[in-house]
Amino acid sequence: MKRPETDLHLHLDGSLSIEVIRQLADETGYDFEGRSMKECVSVGENCESLVEYLKCFDLPGQLLQTEKALELASKDLVERLAKQGVIYAEIRFAPQLHIKKGLSKEKTVEAVIRGVEKGMEHSSIKAGVLLCSMVNGSDRENEETFEIAGSYLKKGVAGVDIAGPEGMVPMEHFEPLFKKAYRKDIPFTIHAGECGDSDHILKAVSYGAKRIGHGCAAIHSETCMDLLKKEKITLEMCVISNLQTKAVASIKEHPLKAFYDRGIRVTYNTDNITVSDTTLNKEAELIKKYLGFTEADLRQMNRYALEGAFLDQAEKEKIIAFFDNNNYNE
């Protein structure tokens, strides 16, 4: 059987299939100007920077501006994950990036939830939606995203996040936003320490974050690593993406194994399936080959992911039991 896997850190707009891109481009009359579809949405092996990486989101951003498009993309993504042996995923997107043609943020959320639910219909995969506020978004837009998350919590929405260019706005600017989410029991993860400072991670944890997106910079701080271990914070690490954006200089320097060996709850994730041209299996094989992970280690990381999932406790226990009973041909 395929290895039962999880993906806690997965962006919808960075994970469109070529088939969905083709369909949506045909419907909107998008002109590729002689470029291949893959060239427009994948960085390949020679990405030089985060700026270059982010260019691959331009086309998805143009295509995902209707309820139909958002529902189609979400459904297709969940179905592809199920076929790959994924048993749990959290799919994140920023509602405020999909309102250019007049959709309300609520309508974007409802469309993605519908797509995810339809994608789960014919398999045992469980998937939830994370709503992203944006570092470079307005305060009001970010507040609205969190308010919408509260309204749809446990109705398809699993929690919230903040994404975008780390460091553009000081992390402490978002403290009131996350403290409010904490008081309202809205689960949240925070993109922190991807290519920024370990101090961002410390602040994120102080706001109540139980998970951190990426967190590579923690390797530079004993205090930060000790805190992550003590507080049982789950790190959503994305190795291939980190290499492409130059968050980490080389595979041998990636901190995933150092964190794991230290007892920090690390997980491996795709970040953006299409932009990074990756899959969970590709990530797994890479870290086995170059970082020395074993199948038992992979199993432990997937269990960490399920333990850190934004799920009701009863549902979490059910899926962990399924995971434990359907594992590995060892």
Name the amino acid, one letter, at 8.
Answer: L
The secondary structure of residue 66, as a DSSP letter, is: S
> Choosing from 194, 231, 236, 317, which is the catalytic residue?
194
The mean pLDDT values, 10 residues at a time, for the chain of 330 residues are 87 97 93 86 83 89 97 98 96 98 98 98 96 96 97 97 89 95 97 90 97 97 98 98 92 97 98 96 97 96 98 95 76
Domain positions in the chain are: 11-323
What stretches of 18-123 show up as alpha helix (H) in DSSP? 18-28, 37-41, 50-54, 58-63, 67-83, 105-120
Beta bridge partners of 26: none
The CATH fold of domain 11-323? TIM Barrel (3.20.20)
Check residue 2 and report its DSSP letter. P
Closest residue by Cα to residue 15 from 125, 116, 143: 116
Rounded Cα distance, 183 and 181, in Å = 5
Query: Between the CA of residue 42 and those of 27, 98, 272, what are the distances in Å?
Result: 21, 20, 9
Rounded to the nearest 10 degrees, the angle between the axes of helix 295-307 and helix 280-291 is: 130
pLDDT value of residue 110: 98
Three-point CA angle 220, 224, 225, nearest 5°:
80
Q: 153: which DSSP letter?
A: B
pLDDT of residue 330: 45
- Structure-token pair, residue 239: 């190795």
- Give whole-number Cα distances, 272 to 32, 141, 146, 264, 303, in Å: 21, 24, 23, 23, 21
Alpha carbon distances (Å) from 256 to 137, 260, 290, 319: 30, 6, 11, 25
C-beta separation of 2 from 303 below 8 A: no
Q: Give residue 328's pLDDT.
A: 54
- Tokens representing 28? 């909107």
- For the question of residue 79 being annotated catalytic, the response is no
